[in-house]
Structure 1
């Protein structure tokens, strides 16, 4: 018997437990933890924007503030979207477990285990990459968090990369402010990794469901079975096709429920991601000319994270489309015309569904695919070009 939670999502469970977003056993302490962490992330974005009140708002300064504030607002959206949709996250995990419990064929179990292991490997790689990003950030950490100002008072303040305004004496409350900034980085990085890998893990398992549908069609339409159409084989064909139609329908419903649950936050993330990507690309080119290595590395890190996140999300959506098309291809290319008439009628359910390309759709506007990734990247580059040309 497959246990989805312990075998394939245990790393996700650890990450989400650390930030209070695991949807099981939500105690009063966990609710307090959620409120605290959400407040920490939200307040950091606010304290960056308040710098616009106390500082002269030149175009360069506005872009500098928004390039970091928009990136950290992604943390806020991801955290709160999982908090609000905790019940649906739990429901999706239970649906996966129910589907695994219904599998009897050892080959079908092997398929879902293979895709579950892929989800686990993806989570492991994501954790390693997150650690690598933090390691890259460590050398420039004092400049980013303003700690260098307390080591060397001659360091100019404009070199500080993340500008904030707490409306307090920053010398007196230096360690509290430093704690706040470090907490934001730790909570935010865990949030992006934990929630992102959880969603991708769901999509990978959905791909496994489509693969099982293809396998069941192949088993029903084997040449050996079709050569000898007796009562026993007819019954087997009906059962296999009915099971294939059933798991194919469940896979589509699973994906639709996933996209509908997070479509609001996904849509908002796309808008903020494109804007943040444009601003940080501008920051890269601006700081190259200013020879500000710390700012250059910071903006490069932000651009890398956003591009990676966009690519993975759209690639996962593309895999859903490809796996659904594979079900249609397997069905269409099989010898379905040699099957009994009643079986042919059942096959029409898959052929009719497969004739229309299925995509992960967000609000009826955006389709998750590699083409969408290219479009979003081009849009970000276009906005960057406009900003850069205006500043010349």
Structure 2
């Protein structure tokens, strides 16, 4: 099992180790890291809700608290659910390893390497965006102090936290400690999102590679028919390769479905919290834009909106990619000259055609299907909720 994790999931392993979630290494240090990080995340949410004790609970105040607290809640949801399902991840990786161990054709191994490169590129791009955003946020938070030093202005700047909190201490005195806690929670949470998200996406990209191998096996099996080189020996080889194509196609569907089913509750909670958080943060942006006195506070909700939309797009894009690869198997079966094969081979081909008669999709709770159409629906729903909230003000 260490071979597949070292060869195909090495970057994901480093990211998951950073937050204590790598399923193959759960030492006392990793458990302590998990508990420590989870404590930082939960206290960051708690100290946002404690603001209700010392402030008037107006509608605007409640929406401002929920816009940030719900976003931080998605960090905790992903963190806890992935930790609970760590054993399932090990089992799914073992199944993927079993499928790869059965590959003998060099072309099939080349397909695996191609999709592995795609998964690694995706992981590197997402991780790079995350690192760049960290530096951008740090510079943005300190921009007023930097300008004051450059221009040598001896003017005291009003210090504001990016979100509303209540720590029951002197906020001015302990400003940098509070800011450190909030930043630590945000960066830990984003590391959790990147580590878990890229791990799940990498796995689904590899299942797309299995669909591609199924298409390749079908084309390779029917090559003898297209060359009119039909014999008893070729018929037996053709039948065996078609059986292998059907089997790996079944494995690809099973692995992708199992992965989504293990995290169905997590994905459903993330969708609900993400849509509400996106709507509220859109409202905060437009409210701050209309109030020019608070224009410098627009950065943080803008970052939350960007992250929410990017995450929704990546998740639905991968779901759409799985559906498209399954459809490609159907197109391959339809285009090859299967009607020229022996009758028992035709029956297997018809079985594949019948199975692919309906789109293979990755659904969540029977309500959401991973697709670009679903992404557009979620964004549209968020904008609609924002419009309703904004119109009532």
Q: TM-score range with shorter-chain normalisation?
A: over 0.9
CA separation in 1, counterparts of 2:130 and 2:382?
Answer: 24
Contact 1:2 / 1:101 at 8 angstroms: preserved in 2? no
Structure 1 residue 154: Cα displacement: 6.1
CA separation in 1, counterparts of 2:130 and 2:90?
Answer: 25
Shifted more, 340-349 versus 111-120: the winner is 340-349
Alpha-carbon deviations, 1:297-338, whole Å to 9, x = none? 111111110000000100100001100000011001211111
Structure 1 residue 94: Cα displacement: 1.9
CA separation in 2, counterparts of 1:90 and 1:190?
Answer: 21
Contact 1:44 / 1:184 at 8 angstroms: preserved in 2? yes
**Cross-structure match for 1:213:** 214
CA separation in 2, counterparts of 1:224 and 1:337?
Answer: 10
TM-score, length basis structure 2: 0.93
The aligned length equals 385
Alpha-carbon deviations, 1:153-201, whole Å to 9, x = none? 96557x5331111234445655543442232122112111111111110
**Cross-structure match for 1:96:** 96
**Cross-structure match for 2:372:** 370
Structure 1 residue 136: Cα displacement: 2.3
CA separation in 2, counterparts of 1:182 and 1:300?
Answer: 16
**Cross-structure match for 1:343:** 345
Tell me the C-alpha RMSD between the 2 structures. Answer: 2.2
Q: Secondary structure at the match of 2:168?
A: coil
Q: Secondary structure at the match of 2:104?
A: coil
Structure 1 residue 50: Cα displacement: 1.3
Q: Secondary structure at the match of 1:228?
A: coil
CA separation in 2, counterparts of 1:369 and 1:178?
Answer: 38
Q: Secondary structure at the match of 1:23?
A: coil
**Cross-structure match for 1:316:** 318
Structure 1 residue 8: Cα displacement: 2.4
Q: Are 1:118 and 2:118 matched, yes or no? A: yes
Which of 355, 358, 365 matches 1:356?
A: 358
Contact 1:48 / 1:165 at 8 angstroms: preserved in 2? yes
Structure 1 residue 293: Cα displacement: 3.3
Shifted more, 178-187 versus 323-332: the winner is 178-187
**Unmatched tracts of structure 2, length 5 or more:** 149-153
Structure 1 residue 31: Cα displacement: 1.6
Distance 1:172 1:293, change over 3 A: closer
Alpha-carbon deviations, 1:83-132, whole Å to 9, x = none? 11111112222222222111100000000110011111111101111122
**Cross-structure match for 2:38:** 38
Contact 1:48 / 1:65 at 8 angstroms: preserved in 2? yes
CA separation in 1, counterparts of 2:176 and 2:63?
Answer: 27
Contact 1:143 / 1:160 at 8 angstroms: preserved in 2? no
Q: Secondary structure at the match of 1:185?
A: helix
**Cross-structure match for 1:278:** 279
CA separation in 2, counterparts of 1:2 and 1:156?
Answer: 53
CA separation in 2, counterparts of 1:142 and 1:44?
Answer: 21
TM-score, length basis structure 1: 0.93
Distance 1:153 1:78, change over 3 A: farther
Structure 1 residue 276: Cα displacement: 0.6
**Unmatched tracts of structure 1, length 5 or more:** none
Contact 1:67 / 1:276 at 8 angstroms: preserved in 2? yes
Q: Secondary structure at the match of 2:392?
A: helix
Contact 1:45 / 1:72 at 8 angstroms: preserved in 2? yes
Contact 1:161 / 1:294 at 8 angstroms: preserved in 2? no
**Cross-structure match for 2:151:** none
Distance 1:272 1:153, change over 3 A: farther
CA separation in 2, counterparts of 1:212 and 1:299?
Answer: 43
**Cross-structure match for 2:132:** 132
> Counterparts of 1:229-308 in structure 2 under 5 Å?
229-291=230-292, 292-308=294-310
Contact 1:214 / 1:326 at 8 angstroms: preserved in 2? yes
Contact 1:143 / 1:161 at 8 angstroms: preserved in 2? no
> Counterparts of 1:133-172 in structure 2 under 5 Å?
133-142=133-142, 159-170=160-171
Contact 2:71 / 2:274 at 8 angstroms: preserved in 1? yes
CA separation in 1, counterparts of 2:348 and 2:310?
Answer: 41
Contact 1:287 / 1:296 at 8 angstroms: preserved in 2? yes
